Amino acid sequence: MSIPSQLLRSLCEPGGGRIVFVLGAGASMDPPTSLKSGARVSMDAHHRLVNDGLLSPGDVVNDWDLAELADVVWNKFGSQKELTDRLPRHDWRMAEPNRGHHEAAALLAEGAVRSVLTINYDLAQEHALVDVNGRSTMTTVVRGPEDTDSLSGRTLVYLHRSCDADSKDWILRASIIADTAIQVWESAIADSILMSPVVVFVGLGSPAPILAETVSRLVTRTGISCYLVDPTEPDPTDSTTFYASLNGSATHIGMTWCDFASELADRLRDDVVGRLLDASCTRLSELGGHSNAWPALRTAMLKVPLHQLGRKRASWLLRRQTYCLETEVDTALLGDLFAAVAAVAEAVHATSIALDGRGNVRLGMVSGNTVPMRIANVAGQSTWNTVATELSRELDAWPAPDYRLVLFSNPDPTPDLAPIDLVRSGDPVDLIRGADQIVALGTAEAVSLATADAAALARRICA
């Protein structure tokens, strides 16, 4: 099933931030996270409690209900420690993010998604935020009432606490959810987070009373749109399911979490790539150049997932952080850079264009050879020599023939951009002595050569 068009439109509305994700256990079941469902975790813990002689087989009616199991343990021992000691805390803490988590982190960082609220205890989504350098993207994490001041426009919220919290504070029991203080906090968070035009529930199988009550109230009062992502068709008559508790207010989307998040992120990625190529085409025209390489360049960029595109932007812009958000300024800087890429691809009659894992451009030639290019916009760098030295260290770490060409752009006039600074070894005067030589070209020079003497440019690069 495809994602409804209304949801896709909401993703790309000007200003963004119209969508909220609410994650249940199903979001952490897709590989490589591969955690167990809440029901399976409860059954395993119950089995261990019985085997350890702490519970009798008949003490719990529904061994798949973690909240019921927690209440039974609490009533018998006056704490939930016996239960939490038998929960997979290590697995939750070390949970590896799946692609859904990675794309959700990128959507949150880019501002397309306003918040992610999770009722899970695992850290997979938080690990994905770290992977996109959440600190530099102004994304905050709220782990409980003590972090309420951290609520922002881009927030990850643990509604029931995380596995990093003291296990006595984990909200497991149905009776504690009914506690006034807990209700006040969770209801306030739910009201704040879910007050969004679009709410997407993912992987919630069991009822979540506070969420269902809040959604029903907001649907009535504000007309928010709700969706439930689950690969299995839900039964609206089954009162034991979260879907039934929504009383028909949610549209079902029959997809896995990873497929859903990836398709949603790809939609935003398509717009990001479109804006970048528009800026590149405009810049190439301003420089008096032309190219027929745009379709091939677009195809190459559309193969890059959204969360990896942010990493490539950071590499292309020589930024210290691992992930860069899309901004108008950076799009213009990269437009200048890819104008040169398009011009060079035209000049050498490239048959294909590809972006490797590092974000470097590889031009396929009629001969079957590949011309690899390290591309970098050096705007804001102190001097070209500083950039050249940095790139030299980077390039020296890669085996020959990578990389033959460095394409760079810098809007500031910089004298003496001699390729000698980027020659690995041998005679620095011979720029094309062999496969281990590196040629450096600025955007303006590359476009000028491609326009005035494409054959000379091709010989210089491909010799």
Euclidean distance between CA atoms 407 and 447, whole angstroms: 11
Are 354 and 242 found together in one domain?
A: no
Are 245 and 293 found together in one domain?
A: no
Give the CA distances from residue 194 to residues 199, 225, 303, 332, in Å, rounded to whole numbers and listed in that order: 7, 10, 33, 35
262 belongs to a structural domain? no
Are 235 and 340 found together in one domain?
A: no
What's the pLDDT tens digit per position in 300-322? 999 999 999 999 999 898 888 88
Are 222 and 322 found together in one domain?
A: no
142 belongs to a structural domain? yes
How far does CA 76 lie from the centroid of its chain? 44
| pLDDT at residue number 319 | 84
Tokens of 433: 């002595």
13-27, 214-228, 403-417, 421-435: range with highest mean pLDDT: 13-27
pTM (2 d.p.): 0.87
Question: Position 210: which residue type?
Answer: I
Given a cut of 80, whether residue 394 has pLDDT beyond it is no
Assign residue 103 the CATH number of its domain. Answer: 3.40.50.1220
Are 210 and 334 found together in one domain?
A: no
Are 101 and 239 found together in one domain?
A: yes
225 belongs to a structural domain? yes
Are 203 and 297 found together in one domain?
A: no
DSSP state of 435: T
40 belongs to a structural domain? no
Are 227 and 285 found together in one domain?
A: no
Q: What is the DSSP string of 1-40?
A: -PPPHHHHHHHTSTT---EEEEE-GGGGTSTTT-PPPHHH
What's the pLDDT tens digit per position in 56-104? 999 999 898 888 899 999 999 999 999 999 999 999 999 999 999 999 9
DSSP state of 424: -
Helices 443-452 and 454-462: angle between axes, nearest 10 degrees: 120
The upper half-sphere exposure of residue 336, i.e. CA atoms within 13 Å in the direction of its Cβ, equals 21
345 belongs to a structural domain? yes
Cα-Cα end-to-end distance for the chain: 50
Looking at 287-428, list the stretches that DSSP marks H as alpha helix, in order from N- to C-terminal side. Answer: 294-301, 306-316, 328-347, 384-396
Q: Do the beta carbons of residue 269 and residue 302 sit within 8 Å?
A: yes
Given a cut of 80, whether residue 409 has pLDDT beyond it is no
| pLDDT at residue number 357 | 80
Are 223 and 283 found together in one domain?
A: no
Instruction: Name which of 30, 197, 201, 16 is nearest 101 in CA terms.
Output: 30
Tell me the Ramachandran region of residue 349: left when phi exceeds 0, alpha when psi lies from -120 to 50, beta otherwise: left
Given a cut of 70, whether residue 297 has pLDDT beyond it is yes
What's the pLDDT tens digit per position in 229-261? 999 988 888 887 888 877 778 899 999 999 999
Which residue do the tokens 């292309």 mark? Answer: 316
Are 348 and 433 found together in one domain?
A: yes
Give how many domains the chain has, as a whole number.
2
57 belongs to a structural domain? no
Of 210, 229, 255, the residue at which a domain comes to its end is 255
What's the pLDDT tens digit per position in 355-369? 988 788 999 988 888
Structural domain including 229 reads 18-35+92-255
